[in-house]
Amino acid sequence: MNTTLPVVPATPAGERPRLDARGTSTRGHVRASWGVLGFIASDTALLAGYALLGHVSAHAVLMYALAGLGLFGTYRLGIALGWHQRLRGMLLTLVMTPLVSLQLLGTAFWVPQVGLLMLMTLIPTVAMTALILPTRYLGALCLLLGACSAMLVATHGAALSLPMQAGAEAALTAIWFTMLLGRVATLSVRGTQLRNALTQKSADLAEALQKLEAIATHDELTGLLNRRAAMAMLANEAQRADRSGQAFSVALFDIDHFKQVNDTLGHATGDEVLRRYAAAMLGATRAADRFARYGGEEFLLLMPDQPQVHGALQVADRLRLLTAQHPWHEVAEALAITVSAGVATQRPGETTAQLLARADGALYAAKHAGRNRVQAG
């Protein structure tokens, strides 16, 4: 009678069993079914004790045991037929809870001298349900069970009792209570496990989202912000500048004769040059500045705190010089890398596309003027 539904145990770490939609493995349900059998056995033993003391009939104990075995069989059949997967892991709850409740209430109607124990045993059963079942089902189940309980009290109220006459009876009842407490405690543990699992899941999700964001906004080779992120940043900066009236500057850098690096030293060396260049520029720019990979060997520097073109030109030229002075021989003997840059400072009413076009024009001019130089657009 004390057949509170057991908690479906988690799957041991490292195994990859078939999971239902709620992440419970078939093996977990099988283990839970053994738990059901354990409850049936312990309840039957206690009831047999009451029968020996003459408090309930042996017939009632036998019926209880048979009903319990029927429940166990139904559960195992459900698992064998894959119901736990079809019912999205709610087999225990959707099928077993009403059946167990039926068993408990039926016994209470039939053997009201243990009726109060049956009603109390309903509590952890419903609590288990509340952990899993959607609210609308839970509400319906509670209404149904409430109506049945009310009917039980209305029709058998006076007869409902706790077996406590003899000392041995009281001892059995105390054991029953202790078992009930154990089941409620197990449910609380399960609730905590579920909450922890949820917390872990949302932490994993947040981490995955962060990784996705990083992938979406960063260039894989250099780790710099990619063009998409750079354009978004530029748009934000333009909005800020519109509001504050404080202009900003951009510089487009392009590695000189980079094709030759690839052609003579190989693509891998070309990649290494790009990586080193990016790292060197990141280390040399201010925290407020943003350095992004704009294209293949083209880079964009956003300078929010450079409202004057001469200041922006100085920054860009410092970076140009740093590039020329970088120990490129560490990458390949006799390797020398220079960059050309075009700088533009935002003009009132100018769009980011117009601003970039001016910077690009200046870069083109720098290339044509001989490379390894910076020009303003």
Ligand X SMILES: Nc1nc2c(ncn2[C@@H]2O[C@H](COP(=O)(O)OP(=O)(O)OP(=O)(O)O)[C@@H](O)[C@H]2O)c(=O)[nH]1
Asked if residue 271 binds ligand X (CB under 6 A), the reply is yes
Give φ, ψ of 230 to 5 degrees. -65, -40
Q: Which of residues 237-256 bind ligand X (CB under 6 A)?
A: 254-256
Which range, of 80-88, 207-215, 257-265, 349-357, touches ligand X by CB under 6 A? 257-265
Cβ atoms of 44 and 68 within 8 Å: the answer is yes
Which range, of 2-10, 94-102, 139-147, 266-274, touches ligand X by CB under 6 A? 266-274
SS3 state at 99 = helix
Which lies closer to ligand X via its Cβ, residue 313 or residue 339?
A: 339
Q: Give the bridge partners for 250, in sequence order.
A: 302, 344
Which lies closer to ligand X via its Cβ, residue 72 or residue 299?
A: 299
Asked if residue 339 binds ligand X (CB under 6 A), the reply is no
Q: How far apart are the first and last CA of the chain?
A: 87
Count of residues in the chain: 377
**Paired tokens of 57:** 């009939």
Which lies closer to ligand X via its Cβ, residue 158 or residue 268?
A: 268
Binder to ligand X among 257, 280, 317, 357 (CB under 6 A)? 257
Q: How far is the CB of 14 from ligand X (least distance, A)?
A: 40
Cβ atoms of 248 and 236 within 8 Å: the answer is no
Q: How many residues bind ligand X (CB under 6 A)?
A: 16
Asked if residue 270 binds ligand X (CB under 6 A), the reply is yes
**Paired tokens of 364:** 């083109």
Site string for ligand X, 203-222 (x = CB under 6 A): ------------------x-
> What is the full DSSP assignment across 293-316?
E-SSSEEEEEETT--SHHHHHHHH
Binder to ligand X among 267, 318, 329, 368 (CB under 6 A)? 267
Asked if residue 296 binds ligand X (CB under 6 A), the reply is yes
Which range, of 47-55, 87-95, 155-163, 264-272, touches ligand X by CB under 6 A? 264-272
- The set of residues, in sequence order, having a beta carbon less than 8 Å from that of 2 and lying 6+ positions away, is 39, 42, 43, 46, 117, 121, 176, 179, 180, 183
Binder to ligand X among 46, 100, 274, 303 (CB under 6 A)? 274
Q: How far is the CB of 270 from ligand X (least distance, A)?
A: 3
Q: How far is the CB of 215 from ligand X (least distance, A)?
A: 17
Asked if residue 338 binds ligand X (CB under 6 A), the reply is no
Binder to ligand X among 249, 297, 301, 358 (CB under 6 A)? 297
- The set of residues, in sequence order, having a beta carbon less than 8 Å from that of 358 and lying 6+ positions away, is 342, 344, 377
Binder to ligand X among 26, 217, 262, 285 (CB under 6 A)? 262
Helix ranges restricted to H, the chain: 26-52, 58-80, 83-86, 97-110, 115-132, 135-156, 167-217, 227-244, 258-265, 267-284, 309-325, 352-368
Q: How far is the CB of 273 from ligand X (least distance, A)?
A: 7
Interface contacts to ligand X, rule CB under 6 A: 221, 254-259, 262, 267, 270-271, 274, 296-297, 367, 371
